[in-house]
Amino acid sequence: MTGTVATDPTPSPADRARRTFSRLAGHTLFWPVVALVVLLLACGVVSPGFLDVTVQDGHLFGQVVDILRQSATPLLLAIGMCLVIATGGIDLSVGAVMAISLAVSLTYIAESGSGTTVGTALTGLALGLVVALVIGAFNGFLVTVLGIQPFIATLILMIAGRGIAMLITKGQITTVTSPPFKAIGSGYVLGIPMPVVIAAGVFALVVLLVRGTALGMLLESIGINREASRLAGVKSRNITWFVYALCGLLAGLAGIVYGAPTMAADANNVGLMKELDAIMVVVLGGTKLEGGKFSLAGCVVGALILSTLERAVVIFHLPTQVTPLFKALILIIVCIAGSDRLRSRAGAARRARRTPAVPVEVAA
Amino acid sequence: MSTTSTTASEPVVRMTGITIEFPGVKALDGVDLTLRPGEVHALMGENGAGKSTLIKALTGVYRIDAGTIAVAGTARRFDGPADAQEAGVSTVYQEVNLAPNLSVAENIMLGHEVRLGPFVNWPATRRAARTHLARLGLDLDPMSMLGTHSIAIQQLCAIARAMVVDAKVLILDEPTSSLDKAEVAQLFDVMRQLRADGVAILFVSHFLDQVYEITDRLTVLRNGRLVGEYLTAELPRLELVSKMVGRASEDLADIEKAARRTTTHDLTGREPVLRALGLGRDGTVEPFDLDLYEGEIVGVAGLLGSGRTEVARLLYGADRADSGTLTVRGAGVRAASPLGSLQRGVALASEDRKKEGIIGDLTVRENIALAMQAERGAWRKVPAKELDATVARYIEALAIHPANPDALIKNLSGGNQQKVLLARWLATAPQLLLLDEPTRGIDVGAKAEIQRLVAELASEGMSVVFISSELEEVLRLSHRVVVMRDRQKIGELTNGPDVTASTVLETIAASGSAS
Amino acid sequence: MTSTQTPAPATTSRRTKGGAPRPGSTGGIADVARRWGHRLADRRFLPVAGTLLTLVLILVIGQARYSTDTRSFVNMRLFSNLLVDNSYLLVLAVGMTFVILTGGIDLSVGAVVALVGLVVAKLLILGVPLPLVLLAGVLVGTVFGLLIGVLVQYFSIQPFIASLAAMFLARGLCNVVSVESLAIEDKGFTDLASWRLKFGHGPSIWYINLSMIVALVVVLVAVYLLHYTRFGRTVYGLGAGDGGQAVGLMGLRAARTKVWVYVISGTCAGIAGILFAFYTRSGFNLTGIGMELDAIASVVIGGAMLTGGSGFVLGSVAGVLVYGLIQVLIAREGLDSWWTKVFIGAVLLLFVLLQRALSTGQKRRRKKNKEESPAPPPAAAPAVS
């Protein structure tokens, strides 16, 4: 019973301020938000009109709106990924799923020959989503029923998925003309770009689903201690399966939102490496890859960082090809700043000196 | 075998004034420890007394803030386990810290393997491993994977490894906690052998019997401070315990005597809460019959590995039975599962608090809510108000400290974690509570509280199965005692004034063939 | 097994004087055979056996379908071509094996291969002497490995994320070096790339080239490191599932070893980058996308567990050969190249299912063992992640 609770000496005001700061800095979202703000400010300084938003033809325009629009795809992917990661899993197949769902939708619309009707576009959308859901459920089956490690289970479709998308498009880049379908990616609702509306709507729904019910807590409990959760009666199989299916569905939606503006299903390139972007977004948002506690709000911050970064490269007149370099820097900086090891080093240098490679339970 | 020429009066380890601070807490405060060659020295203290910290100071895992460590007369400052090992201080930790995916030979010899130029000479290394095993009276295939052996064998391999360097000091941190009786005897043979060879052994154990059986001297710690060093033979048991817990020995005697259950329970004509008929699982526990009644505490006694835990797991459905039937309140149960059991009003508090109990990164509130919530399913969240009231009630009733529902459970002490887990199960309002070692590894105060609670719950009508390796505790609480041996239920005793620990032990011994 | 596990209490008297008891000192040949039987049936070897079986199966299918009267499908030329086409993948897989054995992962290798190719091409264009260029190329990989290792070990960043960052970094740097394909026309380099020994005549002619030799040397060095040094056993110990805690407490240099495996993987990526440049005679910023997945898939097909602690370099070699043969079969069947991906995915699925079945079988067997031996711990539940 000793030693786990530090006794507080009477705090002086300066002390209290310091403690408030350190509590703030200790929040998982502190460094990601700092990174985002710094990025936005830097862009604002270099390009004075950066933060302006104007209304043209009843639509919102501006750099910030563009950034929001760009964030939609990674956010959709990250939301599903975040829940999967919370269970201690990972889904590497989302990039390939994007390609497959888009291929299915566009192939259906192309074959139907009536691409201009709303009904066809919606059926195409639904078909793409159903296929994505099935793939997600397949991943979930491998992980939960067969007990295969998530990394490997989803690696299978990450590798094979793009080949499957190619089979669907018969190796062609399927292009169609379907204004209703295109609107999914480039339309507006009340002046707000459609992808932003979709992403925001999905975010709100998932937050409601996860935090309005006990799903979130159970996900975290599965991710932290699966066996203890099982003994507490948690149906970890069903819950885990559900999030993989949801992750697949959202990846399918992301693929359609991403590919709709061009109406071209390029099986080789749609969603290429997007799974890694999504994982990066989740991690930037303060969710640990080993599972457990997760933050959906963090995904929003992470997705915004990612697209702001991409925009910033343009604003700073750098060649767009070097974007990965900055992704790497941000990822390393945020991870190192958030690393427990560093915190303990900065916070209590003396303890760090003594901390062995193993976390130590103090005098327990 | 190294024969140490030093006389018994010349210590091989002398630690003085050892102080180690963690943020906000002094884990050790000016502690002394002296080890002499050819002695078995017990390090005693409750959880949190600083035993582990002191050991880690001696093995170089922690650096000390003040004090000195001298090994064989020279002052040392260790920079890690390797450093300490070089100076002749070897450690075998509580949980076997070897690599289960490497061979026995590799686990014993790695770091001291025989070389042939730039290559490891495997045949010679295996031969050397075999020699070291033989020194401990073991005949194992050095090429077999360590993970395929029992924990006891792995433990002895760890000792073999520790002795490869001809250690002058051998630290055994709770080596017996997962061994059965025969294995403990084997371990003690090995320890006596090493003692005769002049090795100083530092022995940490919760089992007083073992301490009195094997040790020559003991050092007692309490709350990070030294209480004193004593000759084992000259310190009566009760006095030792009172030094460990820091209470007068009379108080303790009271606790020992308190609430010894003598009333028998009239069971005639009542329907059991749970009835198991021929319930069993291949390789885990032989088919057994068991009836559990309302308001009754049934103790399960038996040595570790006798199938106690397995019985509880079968009743709860943590493991699936492959024979027999299970009936809960008259209704047959097919394919018991944890969730199903909870819904039928059966709860199991597992013996492995860390692996099968707490959800470390979640709060006390969430940990209490977990089983309740699982019972309702993911979609129907327990209303916040109801949950807050429940949590507050249990924090108060069980005196959970700190009384903060938002504290992360991993930051609580072992005893308080145990109480939170009890709260988790009680919150599901079970009619049958299976408690597997609920008092293991927690301090005496919390232990007494939990015992009191169990008795109270039963008097309110709950049926309780109480599993513990401490016979005294089982006998104090139970109306009936189920005796297990070698994965079989070998008897059932109705508790009464004439039933004592030795009665139970006799039952265990009597029906068994020589082992 | 059990008889050796449960020494009777009186066994202290069974101490040996001078020298060890021989294996099976009581049972003679039958006993020795039984022990070896146990060892071979060890689950460590079973997945590799599966890989070899698949290899043979593919060869048999190939032999049946594509042999003509004049030419057999299985011949030296097939293997020579396999190695020529996949030497870089072989080297990558070897490096990846080290990392995966510790339970880690290295996603950066594909990007590093691209970067090394570009660096080599650029330096050669700038007129830097060839030996220096080759050294620099390998060192680029080493540095990336070191970066990942340091991030993983000293900043506790998960290998996945650390190597992901390294991958982004390498891709970004590629684009800094050049966004266009750089052809390598350096005489010395192309000479090295085209050097080969010729064997046989006519249609059965086959070659040994420098890439094959380098790959072979890398494999041999890896076998030596993993199986004949303390370092190698530490690598296995790190994969035991407790984050290297055990090997640390055993006094082995866990931290340093963990950094080293990434350095080795990075260095292998550097070497593979040069081999790939030999193969393509150019550097291009978009090469190697997904190459890390090929390497990981090969290692898994080769029988290694991604959780670490189990697998063999030679298994990974077999995995690469399976990978290469699938490509050959697809080409011979005249199928489009994307079929390769689908097939690799299917083979991966098959192997993962096989491993799964094996480990369940193993568990069942262990449970049986427990039945016969005393004091088992409660069975640990299988962790899914």
Q: Which of A148, A152, A166, A172 to mutate to test the interface with C (most CBs of C within 10 A)?
A: A152
Which DSSP category does A5 fall into?
Answer: S
Token pair for B317: 């459905």
User: What part of C 247-266 touches B (C-beta under 8 Å)?
Assistant: 247-253
Specify whether the CB–CB gap between C55 and C318 falls below 8 A. Answer: yes
pLDDT of residue C26: 47
* B378/A218 Cβ within 8 A: yes
- Reported ipTM: the value is 0.80
Which residues in chain B have Cβ-Cβ distances shorter than 8 Å to C241?
100-101
State pLDDT tens for residues C122-144: 999 998 999 999 999 999 999 99
* A162/C341 Cβ within 8 A: yes
Q: Quick one: closest CA in B to A219, which residue?
A: B378
DSSP string, C264-306: HHHHHHHHHHHHHHHHHSEE-TTTTTTHHHHHHHHHHHTT--T
Distance of CA B366 to the CA centre of its chain: 26
Total CB pairs under 8 A between chain A and B: 139
* A324/C156 Cβ within 8 A: no
Place B41 in a pLDDT band, splitting at 50, 70 and 90.
very high
- Taking CA atoms, A180 is separated from A43, A68, A186, A194, A200, in Å, by 35, 22, 10, 12, 20
pLDDT of residue C305: 85
Interchain contact C20–B (C-beta under 8 A): yes
pLDDT of residue C16: 36
Q: Report the alpha-carbon angle A12-A14-A17, nearest 5.
A: 110
pLDDT of residue A183: 86
Q: Quick one: closest CA in A to C179, which residue?
A: A321
User: What part of C 317-346 touches A (C-beta under 8 Å)?
Assistant: 336, 338-342, 344-346
Average pLDDT taken over every residue of chain B:
83
Strands B200-204 and B115-116: unpaired
Say which residue the tokens 């069975």 belong to: C379
Q: Quick one: closest CA in A to B27, which residue?
A: A363
Nearest to B152 by CA among B135, B141, B138: B138
Q: Which domains does chain A have, with CATH numbers?
A: 59-341 (1.10.3470)
Q: Report the alpha-carbon angle A95-A100-A104, nearest 5.
A: 150
Question: How far apart (Å, rounded) are the C-alpha atoms in residues B386 and B427?
Answer: 11
Question: How far apart (Å, rounded) are the C-alpha atoms in residues B143 and B147?
Answer: 12
Specify whether the CB–CB gap between B370 and A234 falls below 8 A. Answer: yes
- For the CA atoms of chain B, what is the radius of gyration? 25
Cis peptide before B402 (omega within 30 of 0): yes
Specify whether the CB–CB gap between B280 and B288 falls below 8 A. Answer: yes
Superfamily in which the B274-510 domain is placed by CATH? P-loop containing nucleotide triphosphate hydrolases (3.40.50.300)
Question: How far apart (Å, rounded) are the C-alpha atoms in residues A13 and A3?
Answer: 26
Specify whether the CB–CB gap between A351 and A360 falls below 8 A. Answer: no
pLDDT of residue B510: 65
State pLDDT tens for residues B398-435: 888 788 888 888 888 777 888 899 999 999 989 999 99
* C352/A276 Cβ within 8 A: no
Q: Which domains does chain C have, with CATH numbers?
A: 48-62+73-356 (1.10.3470)
User: What part of B 278-337 touches A (C-beta under 8 Å)?
Assistant: 316, 318
Specify whether the CB–CB gap between B21 and A349 falls below 8 A. Answer: no
**CA-CA-CA-CA torsion for C268, C273, C278, C282, nearest 10 degrees?**
180
Question: How far apart (Å, rounded) are the C-alpha atoms in residues B346 and A51?
Answer: 60
Q: Looking at the predicted structure, is the pLDDT value of residue B512 above 50?
A: no
Q: How far is A58 from chain C (nearest CA, A)?
A: 39
pLDDT of residue B59: 86
Question: How far apart (Å, rounded) are the C-alpha atoms in residues B347 and B433?
Answer: 5
User: What part of C 283-302 touches A (C-beta under 8 Å)?
Assistant: 285, 289-290, 293, 296-297, 300
Question: How far apart (Å, rounded) are the C-alpha atoms in residues B494 and B157?
Answer: 42
Domain boundaries in chain B? Answer: 13-101+145-256, 274-510
Interchain contact B32–A (C-beta under 8 A): no
Token pair for B356: 């099968």
B13-101+145-256: which CATH number, 3.50.50.60, 3.40.250.10, 3.20.20.70, 3.40.50.300? Answer: 3.40.50.300
State pLDDT tens for residues B268-323: 667 888 999 999 888 778 899 999 988 889 999 876 667 888 899 999 988 888 88
Q: Looking at the predicted structure, is the pLDDT value of residue B496 above 70?
A: yes
Nearest to C50 by CA among C312, C366, C363, C364: C312
* A363/B23 Cβ within 8 A: no
Which residues in chain B have Cβ-Cβ distances shorter than 8 Å to A210?
none
Question: How far apart (Å, rounded) are the C-alpha atoms in residues B377 and B374?
Answer: 5
State pLDDT tens for residues B178-204: 676 777 888 888 889 889 888 999 998
pLDDT of residue B118: 83
Strands of chain A, DSSP E: 54-56, 59-61, 174-175, 188-189, 192-193, 264-265
* B148/C229 Cβ within 8 A: no
The pLDDT profile of chain A, 364 residues, written as one tens digit per residue, is 343 444 445 556 677 777 777 777 667 788 888 889 988 888 888 888 877 888 887 788 888 888 999 999 999 999 999 999 999 999 999 999 999 999 999 999 988 877 788 888 899 999 999 999 999 999 999 999 988 889 889 999 998 998 899 888 888 888 888 888 888 888 888 888 999 999 999 999 999 999 999 999 999 999 999 899 999 999 889 999 999 999 999 999 999 999 888 888 888 888 888 988 999 999 888 888 888 899 999 999 999 999 999 888 888 888 878 888 888 888 888 788 766 655 555 544 433 333 343 333 333 3
pLDDT of residue A329: 87
Interchain contact B437–A (C-beta under 8 A): no
Within this chain, domains B13-101+145-256 and B274-510 share the same CATH topology: yes
Exposed / middle / buried, residue A42 (Cβ in 10 Å: 0-12, 13-18, 19+):
middle
pLDDT of residue A345: 54
Q: Quick one: closest CA in C to A268, which residue?
A: C338
Which residue ranges of chain C lie beneath pLDDT 50? 1-26, 368-385
Model-level pTM? Answer: 0.81
pLDDT of residue C364: 58
Q: How far is B361 from chain A (nearest CA, A)?
A: 7
